[in-house]
Amino acid sequence: MYEPVVPARESLSPRWRVGLVGKTVEHTAEPDERPLEAYRDYLRLLARVQIGSRLQAKMDASDAAQQAILQAHEARSRFRGTTESEKLAWLRAILANVLAAAARRFETRARDVGRERSLEAELELSSSRLECLLAADQTSPSQRAVRCEELLRLGAALARLPEDQRRVVELHYLMGLPVTEVAEQMARTRPAVVGLLFRGLKKLRELLQECEE
C-alpha cells in the first residue's frame, strides 16, 4: 500500500533553517512566459520525495516529472491562474494525479480521490519545506513571484548536488526527518550526516550564486 509518510513541519531542525538566497533576481517571468520544461527539476524533486520505497524500483522520479509536463501541455489551455504561485499549485496537482495513477497501476487498486488530494497536500507541504531553505518570508505579490523564481532555481541547484549530499538535504528538509533518522536510513553516523548537510548547503549557496551572476 502506497502511503507516503510526511512528518509534521515542526520536526525540521531549527538549527538547519538557513536562508540560501541573499539577493533577489531582477526579473521574474509571468506564468505564461515560462516554458513548462523550466519546471522539470522542481517537479522531479517533489516526485523523488513522494515516491516510496515500494514504487521506487518501478517508477522513476524523472518519468513522473515528464508525465506531469506532458499532461500540463495537454491541459494548458484550461489553466486559469494569473500568478506563478497558482501555476506551481496547478503543476503539483497534475503531479499528484500522475503519482496516484502510478500507485494504482502497480498496486491494482481502484481510483481513490482522497488519496490524490492527500498526495497533492503532501506535495504542497514538501514545496513549503523547500521554501525553508530560502530567505525570510515574502508576502507581497511581487515578493511571492520572486520566491517562486527562487524555488525553481533551488530545485535545479539541488539536482546538481552530489548524490549523498542531495539525499540528506531532501530527507532532512523536504521529508522533515531528524538528523538521527536520516543517519539510520543512509547507514551513516550522525556526525557524517551533519557533515553532508553542511557541505550540501555550502554547495547549494555556491550554485545559487552562480545563477545570480
Cα separation, 7 vs 107, in Å, equals 24
**pLDDT value at 61 more than 50:** yes
Grid cell 516526485 is found at 47
Percentage of the residues of the chain whose pLDDT score is greater than 70: 69
What is the pTM (predicted TM-score) of this model? Answer: 0.71
Average pLDDT, stretch 198-207? 91
Q: Which residue has the higher pLDDT, 82 or 67?
A: 67
Q: Give me the pLDDT at residue 30, please.
A: 57
Cβ(158)–Cβ(204) under 8 Å?
yes
Q: Where are the beta strands (DSSP E) in the chain?
A: none
Q: Where are the domains of the chain?
A: 25-159, 162-213
Q: Which residue has the higher pLDDT, 19 or 124?
A: 124
**131-186 tens-digit pLDDT:** 776 654 444 455 555 677 888 888 899 999 999 999 999 888 888 889 999 999 99
Average pLDDT of every residue of the chain: 76
**97-143 tens-digit pLDDT:** 998 888 777 765 545 555 556 777 778 787 777 777 665 444 445 55
Fold of 162-213: Arc Repressor Mutant, subunit A (1.10.10)
Q: How far is CA 156 from CA 43, 102, 150, 177, 185, in A?
A: 10, 24, 10, 22, 24
Cα separation, 38 vs 52, in Å, equals 25
CA 213 to chain centre: 24
Q: Which residue has the higher pLDDT, 11 or 60?
A: 60
